[in-house]
Structure 1
Amino acid sequence: MSAGNDAASRELTELVGLARKAVKAYDRPDLEKRLAVLSRAVADDRARVLVVGEFKAGKTELVNAVLGGRALPTDAHRATTVPTACVHGAQRAVTLVRAVEGGQEQQGIGPAQLAEHVTEQGNADNAAGWSHAEVTLPVEPLKGLRLVDTPGAGGLASPASVSTMAELPGSDAVLLVCDAGRELTAPELALARTAAAVGATVIVVLTRTDLHPHWRRIADLDRGHLDRAGDPMRGVAVLPTSASLALLAAERDDPADGTGRALTEESGIAELRRVLTEEVAAGRQARRVRMAADEVLVACDQVATRFRTERDALADPGRAQRIAEQLDRSKARAAALRDRAARWQQTLNDGTQDLVSDIEYDLRDRLRTVTTDAEAALDDTDPAKTWEQFGPWLHQQVSAAVSTNVVWAEERTRWLSERVATHFAEDGEGILPPVGAGPDGTGMVADPVKMLAAPDHEKFGFSQSALIGMRGSYGGVLMIGLMTTLAGLSLINPFSVGAGLLLGSKTLIDERKRALRRRQGEAKQAVRRHVDDVIFQAGKNSRDMLREVQRTLRDHFTTTAEELERSLAATSQAAKAVEADGAKRQARLADLEAELERIEGLSTRARRLRETVRSEGRSAPLVRA
């Protein structure tokens, strides 16, 4: 993070602290509580950046290039299996984190042991069950960032891609890493579209340009694919890079001849660092500043309204009655905002019910398609022979359906929040300070559902096949043998033996077909039970998430209305309590002017900080030509 951003963070912390002291001194515990929540919300100034892409696309090597050294383990044949978050710190340290019931389990390890836990070298398919690893590094490019190296996606329906999609709503930016030797694939475009839809800044990073001389044509083709995808994909940046050149530059960095700097510029990593620090990290900083400044301005406006009204009433006692009457009408309107019949309340209740219905229908529809495809696949195979491949495939399809449903629910809750905020502001027009869109919908994380269990298929070995064949052949031998005895032959003769073999073979074949149909039916029942379990668990999580969103929005706007009503009540009381004595009135006027000057000074600082960040945000494009 730049020195300017550090100064803005200090200014922001000081501003919120002064505002909390001010509202506490003015006996507004409701505003003090709101600013305390704000203080905790703006404490984390690190922008979260996900590095995603297909297997062996060069994600980890790109992260190392950004960091300026080989901090994370790389291998030509072993892939990353555990998400690895890199953050700035005074000392280098590595912590492994595993989710357990009721919290998290953490384990510190040495940096040299990292490869044994986060790659296929010692943790194939993440058998250890680590949720992520956190690497602390004292490197300058990490300031203001949380850079997360993710496992290879392996297609949109793979488990790694599913976990990546679940992390998208909380990310500030997504680096989609693609090999410069080929065009963007359909799964990569789908992942980029999903990331852009939930509000993350998407940057397509082409890697290994040093190995592909035609990378410029690939970059142009990729830009065309992104532009044709429409909003919000149009205009997504495409950055060509070479991590190998950047790492070579780090090893040969000699300030005397400037070779390292030239190689870094040629590699494109310098431009990527600029985007991450000046745009992504600064963008998060700008959002923090705008949010905090707006909250401070709202608090200052509510406190200052009381003092302004009292000042006006004291300056012109004849207007006191009219001011009090206007305030009483405003109080009635503010009280109406808390009524259950208020339009924003109706919008929230109706919108939540619609969301519950739509999201549940979407989940069932997606999983019904998965069930249909699974049953069609079972009709063409023997589950006893293909279950090891079928089980993981079904799990991937179900996970992809649930994660897509989660992302769509996130988009819909954001839309509902904005609509409720709009109606709340319209209902309170004229009496409300500027109102934000309210809190974003909280992300939904589905509880884990066990892997699809294999049904207990009937064993059909050699001994059982022999018994079935003998049972079928018995009737043929006996029937034909009795008929041939009339011709003077024995009961066991070539004709009876042949008939027994034919009937025994037919019985065995028919029994095998019936057993296959039974196995297919049992497998289909297992699939339906598994999908029902997923619908039950994911549906419950969806409803819980939406109820939490509803309660959060209701509490947020109800609290805003209560704060406004309290401010108007205090203002009305101050307007009515006009002192008749001239000397006291003049002294009180002087006190009010002093208080208003202090509040205005705080408001001026908040506006200045917000405008500074806004002007800096317009100073540079996302990616330089």
Structure 2
Amino acid sequence: MNSKDLVDLVKVARQAATAYGRPDLEKRLSIVSATVADDRARVLVMGEFKAGKTELVNAVLGGRALPTDAHRATTVPTVCVHGAQRAVTLVRAVEGGQEQQQIGPGQLAEHVTEAGNPDNRAGWSHAEATLPVDVLEGMRLVDTPGAGGLASPASVSTMAELPGADAMLLVCDAGRELTAPELALVRTAAAVCHTVAVVLTRTDLHPHWRRIADLDRGHLDHAHESLRRVPVLPTSAALALHAAEHDEASLLAESGLPELRDLLRSEVVGGRHARRTRMATDEVLVVCEQLAARFRAERDALADPGRAQRISDELERSKARVVALRDRAARWQQTLNDGTQDLVSDIEYDLRDRLRTVTTDAEAALDDTDPAKTWEQFAPWLHQQVSAAVSTNVVWAEERTRWLAERVATHFAEDGAGVLPPMASPEGQVMAADPVGLLAAPDHEKFGLSQSLMIGMRGSYGGVLMIGMMTTIAGMALLNPFSVGAGLLLGSKTLVDERKRALRRRQAEAKQAVRRHVDDVIFQAGKNSRDMLREVQRTLRDHFTTTAEELERSLNATSQAAKAVEADGAKRQARLADVAAELERLEALEKRARRIRESVGAARLVGA
């Protein structure tokens, strides 16, 4: 079964909804049609700095499509998509939308690597490379920056994109074991992505890669039960590229790339297509059930006019249950409202708790150093810690949001049992993490040579005067060795004490700057999370309310059809034939939807 069959199925269902006078159902299917139209899976390729991510992407593509360098890293995410002609588009986020710029494929390195765009000074959000490569069909392969490690701002910003991804490939060098941050990333990704894999690179450079693969497998098995299904795939991009250039099939098999491509094709692309197919066919089946209910009731009433009243009574009771679903006191409404309030509280507490830990660690670090000397190293470190905390909070909020959506859907279905047709759960909202600004340096008091001399002279003046006055009693001059020595001693002590007080002031000012920065982050990130949860609440409320309204309208049409029973036998028989024909059409559409759904399930079993 291909995508065209699914698109045609949804198109026919929309035509049926329009023909039977149900614009509400047609609108519902139009959303499904738009979802099915773009069925490309999003795959994030993540990893540490210079782990070989871009080289691996090139190996998957079967050629050197993206720029690589032994010393210069990628600074801008590059999205690889399938297309008939090679093209590159640079995208920058601007107020009110996006700014795009077309460049030649040969100019990509000037904009996405450190060679031409260090630290992404141009401010590009991503680059989109269109390539005529078959492996990209049905997939968006994203080469992400890894500058500075998995705790860098670029990587934690990419981690915030995990809830919207279908798969994540963690690229690691085959010469070492998985680190604790990498295991934490895999565990986070496994909670929100359908497919996660650890890809070992450069096996051609490390003879002991098999032992590393076994150790990594053990780390994943012991880290968490959910990570036991995460595969570890040893690969060599250099061998794969050499095999592609010289058309050597045996060398390509030895590189390990065929297994990775099979994973992308079957688990990622096939898995997304299967999920979209199940969602679309479920929606078509819901529409068929609502359209057919009207004709079934009319058919039963026409076949036995004496049953018309009983059918109408049953429909009225069903309508009362549906009306109760729309009431604000309905259980699913209470679950949604209470759950949203609980989520707001829990997510805000989680964010504050994470950032409080960051603040405590930052203040402890400031106690052991002079902010004026170490600020250039301290500010990026704090930025990394804050970004990591915010991004982790975003991913956790996404998990809790999906859990709430499933719980509301369950209660809605339970309250409408026997009335509601099978439903597809609404798509979850993806919360994005706004970038966190860098920490501004406080205005530290300057403590130069002239200021040190002034402080020393001010402290020595009292010592010279005090000891000099005492020695004049013994007939000595005001300035004598004793008074000068006392002045030097007190001046030195005053200078040392003042330096300590200045250090404490700088530390206090730095701590205050950290607290203000964290407060600003909590204010902005907290507002973002509350806005996201309110949007989720509105989306779920509108979805289930619309579902109840659609069913109520179907029941009203069914009730009217059951009551409109012709007394004349000839007319009744003619109408009965028409109703039977309409039911046959809807049953044929329903069978077609079930056949497409079952074909996807059978294909998944064969692939497994």
Q: TM-score, normalising length from structure 2?
A: 0.98
State the distance in 2 between where 1:153 and 1:191 align: 16
User: What displacement does 1:263 show?
Assistant: 1.3
Q: Which residue of 2 aligns with 1:450?
A: 437
State the distance in 2 between where 1:466 and 1:318 align: 112
State the distance in 1 between where 2:210 and 2:461 align: 77
Write out aligned runs for 1:156-555 (5 A). 156-253=150-247, 260-440=248-428, 442-555=429-542
Classify the secondary structure of the residue corresponding to 1:559: helix
Classify the secondary structure of the residue corresponding to 2:233: strand
State the distance in 1 between where 2:361 and 2:178 align: 27
Q: Percent same amino acid at aligned positions? A: 81
* Per-residue CA distance 1:449-483 (angstroms, 9 max, x = gap): 43111000000000111111111111111111111
User: What displacement does 1:154 show?
Assistant: 4.1
- Residue pair 2:472, 2:478 contacting (<8 A) in 1 also: yes
User: What displacement does 1:225 show?
Assistant: 1.5
User: What displacement does 1:299 show?
Assistant: 0.4
Q: 1:143 aligns with which of 137, 148, 151?
A: 137
Q: Which residue of 2 aligns with 1:55?
A: 49
State the distance in 1 between where 2:78 and 2:256 align: 23
User: What displacement does 1:439 show?
Assistant: 2.6
* Per-residue CA distance 1:224-247 (angstroms, 9 max, x = gap): 211222332112111111111110
Alpha-carbon distance change, 153 to 561 in structure 1, aligned in 2, over 3 angstroms:
farther
Q: Which residue of 2 aligns with 1:608?
A: 595
My pick for the range that moved more, 291-300 or 218-227, is 218-227
Write out aligned runs for 1:15-54 (5 A). 15-54=9-48
Classify the secondary structure of the residue corresponding to 1:184: coil
User: What displacement does 1:433 show?
Assistant: 0.3
State the distance in 1 between where 2:347 and 2:149 align: 24
* Per-residue CA distance 1:297-353 (angstroms, 9 max, x = gap): 100110000001001000000111100000000000000000011111111111111
- Residue pair 1:56, 1:79 contacting (<8 A) in 2 also: yes
Q: Does 1:596 align with 2:583?
A: yes
Classify the secondary structure of the residue corresponding to 1:233: helix
User: What displacement does 1:222 show?
Assistant: 1.5
Classify the secondary structure of the residue corresponding to 2:203: coil
Amino acid at match of 2:302: L
Amino acid at match of 2:396: W
Amino acid at match of 2:228: R
Write out aligned runs for 1:4-23 (5 A). 8-23=2-17
- Residue pair 2:73, 2:147 contacting (<8 A) in 1 also: no
Classify the secondary structure of the residue corresponding to 1:347: helix
Q: Which residue of 2 aligns with 1:127?
A: 121
Q: Unpaired runs of 5+ in structure 1? A: 254-259
State the distance in 2 between where 1:590 and 1:463 align: 106
Q: Unpaired runs of 5+ in structure 2? A: none
Q: Which residue of 2 aligns with 1:257?
A: none
User: What displacement does 1:97 show?
Assistant: 1.1
- Residue pair 2:187, 2:224 contacting (<8 A) in 1 also: no
State the distance in 2 between where 1:433 and 1:360 align: 37
My pick for the range that moved more, 34-43 or 290-299, is 34-43
- Residue pair 1:16, 1:292 contacting (<8 A) in 2 also: yes
* Per-residue CA distance 1:494-540 (angstroms, 9 max, x = gap): 11111111111111111111111111111111111000000000000
State the distance in 2 between where 1:542 and 1:250 align: 47
Q: Does 1:70 align with 2:64?
A: yes
- Residue pair 1:174, 1:203 contacting (<8 A) in 2 also: yes
- Residue pair 1:53, 1:178 contacting (<8 A) in 2 also: yes
State the distance in 2 between where 1:503 and 1:191 align: 57
Amino acid at match of 2:484: V
User: What displacement does 1:292 show?
Assistant: 0.5
User: What displacement does 1:199 show?
Assistant: 2.9
State the distance in 1 between where 2:39 and 2:206 align: 38
- Residue pair 2:295, 2:558 contacting (<8 A) in 1 also: yes
Q: Which residue of 2 aligns with 1:256?
A: none
State the distance in 1 between where 2:101 and 2:326 align: 49
My pick for the range that moved more, 203-212 or 416-425, is 203-212
| Cα root mean square deviation, aligned | 1.1
- Residue pair 1:347, 1:420 contacting (<8 A) in 2 also: yes
Classify the secondary structure of the residue corresponding to 1:51: strand
User: What displacement does 1:153 show?
Assistant: 6.0
Q: 1:575 aligns with which of 562, 573, 578?
A: 562
